[in-house]
Amino acid sequence: MKPGSPAEDMGDVGDAAPHDEARPLWARVRSRLEAAGFRPSRRLGQNFLFDENMARAIVRDAELGPAATVLEVGPGPGLLTVHLAPLAQRLVCVEIDGRLLEIARELCAGFAHIEWLHTDVLASKHRLAPEVVAALPAEGPWQLVSNLPYSVSAPLLATLCDLPNPPARMTALVQLEVAERIVAAPASPDWGPLTIRLALDYRASLVRRVPPQLFWPRPEVESALVRLERLAEPCPPSERERLVPLVAHLFQHRRQALGRLLSQRAGRPRAEAVLADLGLAPRARAEDLDLATLRRLARELDP
């Protein structure tokens, strides 16, 4: 275990009683938040997992190796961070709210191997902030373990896939609606671009559901922990570059006939020939196609 005792560090900050180690960690953190006049932001998706048993379970589910490098996005006041830090060799924490970053640094003051970045993790919808890219390993395995804010969860997971050295595993707590999209099956309402993009490189599973009463403030919806394991043979970049734009086009009009949508991209004769070669009816819909068929479709359209 790395040196330091975060529970003691929070015992004498803010208005908390000095060295009140008998108080639960969340009570001490909550006192610190109140002393700072903090009010959670709905826009930033600030819902903090305060249940320590669940935080420990998430860290166990992440299955960190003995020399793990971990990225945590949105650590908030550090309630998950204090459980990650003893097991990670290197921990990069990215927090957009400077007030929370200060509290998290106080809580985790005994862990010198944590790197704190005060920034938005995304510079744009499909691009990480430069300082985040610079902090991630250029080679070798690393992992994402985070309670992700709703607004960044889907674009962040997709963007991490496109890194030259993407994470070997992603363990993310997200809203249940996002989790269901990540693990969706073909022909289901949740099957779509996010599912397909992640499935090109990762095997996704829903690990556990997390009820809203374990968060502060309490959200209106349930959450779920998802795990994404990188495939031994991920999709080649050249194929991904053909498929991702095609999927975006098809699912923008997911209930329209394939024949019509493909004719818009490749012309009617070419579209009809490709569909015939694949044994697909022109009136079939993209939402009914599995990943293997979509990959074949992209190769046939743009060999």
Whether 200 and 276 map to the same domain: the answer is no
For residue 36, give the 3-state DSSP assignment. coil
Q: How many domains does the chain have?
A: 2
Whether 190 and 215 map to the same domain: the answer is yes
pLDDT in tens, the chain (303 residues): 444 445 444 543 333 333 455 689 999 999 999 999 999 999 999 999 999 999 999 999 999 988 899 999 999 999 999 999 999 999 999 999 999 999 999 999 999 999 999 999 999 989 999 999 999 999 999 999 999 999 899 999 999 999 999 999 999 999 999 999 999 999 999 999 999 999 999 999 999 999 999 999 999 999 999 999 999 999 999 999 999 999 999 999 988 999 999 999 899 999 999 999 999 999 999 999 999 999 999 999 987
Whether 226 and 269 map to the same domain: the answer is no
Asked if the structure places residue 203 within a domain, the reply is yes
- Whether 72 and 64 have beta carbons less than 8 Å apart is answered as no
**What is the total residue count of the chain?**
303
Whether 219 and 260 map to the same domain: the answer is no
Whether 35 and 141 map to the same domain: the answer is yes
Whether 286 and 264 map to the same domain: the answer is yes
Tell me the sheet residues that pair with 128.
122
Whether 250 and 170 map to the same domain: the answer is no
Tell me the sheet residues that pair with 95.
118
Asked if the structure places residue 1 within a domain, the reply is no
* DSSP letters spanning 6-23: HHHHGGGSTTSPTT-TTS
Q: Which residues, including other chains, have CB under 8 Å from residue 265's CB and lie 6 or more apart?
A: 246, 249, 271, 301
Largest CA distance in the chain: 77
In tens, the pLDDT along 227-245 reads: 999 999 999 999 999 999 9
| C-alpha span between 297 and 276 (Å, rounded) | 11
**CB neighbour burial string for 195-216, b if at least 16 within 10 angstroms, e if fewer:** bbbbbbbbebeebeebeeebbb
- pTM of the predicted structure, to 2 decimals: 0.91
Q: Tell me, what CATH number does 65's domain have?
A: 3.40.50.150
For residue 230, give the 3-state DSSP assignment. strand
Domain boundary among 230, 255, 273: 230
| C-alpha span between 14 and 35 (Å, rounded) | 6
Whether 11 and 41 map to the same domain: the answer is yes
For residue 217, say if its preceding peptide bond is cis, omega within 30 degrees of 0: yes
Q: Tell me, what CATH number does 261's domain have?
A: 1.10.8.100
- Whether 159 and 128 have beta carbons less than 8 Å apart is answered as yes
